Amino acid sequence: MGLAVEFGAGLLLWTLIEYFMHRLAFHGFAPHTEHHANPSDVKYIVAPLRLSLPGACISFGISWLIGGSWRAAISIVCGIVTGYLLYEWIHLRVHSGKRGGRLLRALRKHHYYHHFASDRVNYGVTSPLWDIIFRTVPH
C-alpha cells in the first residue's frame, strides 16, 4: 500500500474506533458520564492524555501487525491520530454553540440527539457513517 492509502485507512479506522469506543466503553465511564451531565464543560469534552496516549500505543502495535512494516504502521497511525485530533476539534466545536457551516450544524444535530434525546443512538461524532452501517440512528 502507498502512504496516502495507509493514511486514508488510518482516518477511516479512527472513525470506527471512535464509534466502538463511544458505544461500548464510554458510557458508564467516569469522564464520559460527567460529559453527559455537563456537555459544555471543556474539561469533559477533550480526552485526558492518560487515556489517549495508551490508545495511540495500542493503535501503533495493531497497525504494525496489519501493515506489516514500521513505515506502514507509522502511516496508518498518522491517519488515526489525525482523525483523533479532528474528533477532538469537532467535538469542541459541536459543544461550543458557535455557528458553523452546514456540516457542523449536521454533526451538532446528530450528536445533540445522542446527548439530549437518547444516548443509545448516534455514537459517531465526526461521522454518522458507522451509525448508519450498524443501524444506531433513530428511525
Q: Is residue 116 part of a domain?
A: no
Q: Which three cell numbers stand for residue 89?
A: 476539534
Least confident of 42-46, 68-72, 127-131, 133-137: 42-46
Q: Is the pLDDT of residue 128 over 70?
A: yes
Q: Is residue 136 in a domain?
A: no
- Inside any domain, residue 36: yes
pLDDT in tens, 37-47: 666 666 666 77
Residue 111 included in any domain? no
76-103: average pLDDT: 92
How far is 118 from 112, CA to CA, in rounded Å? 9
In a domain, 73, yes or no: yes
Domain membership flag for residue 22: yes
Q: Print the domain residue range for 44.
A: 3-100
Average pLDDT of 133-138? 96
Say if 53 falls within a structural domain: yes
- Residue 135 falls inside a structural domain: no
DSSP labels, 33-61: HHHHHSTT-GGGTSPPHHHHHHHHHHHHH
Averaged pLDDT, 19-26: 84
| pLDDT at residue 134 tops 70 | yes
Give the chain's domain count.
1
Instruction: pLDDT band for 51, please (50, 70, 90 cuts).
Output: confident
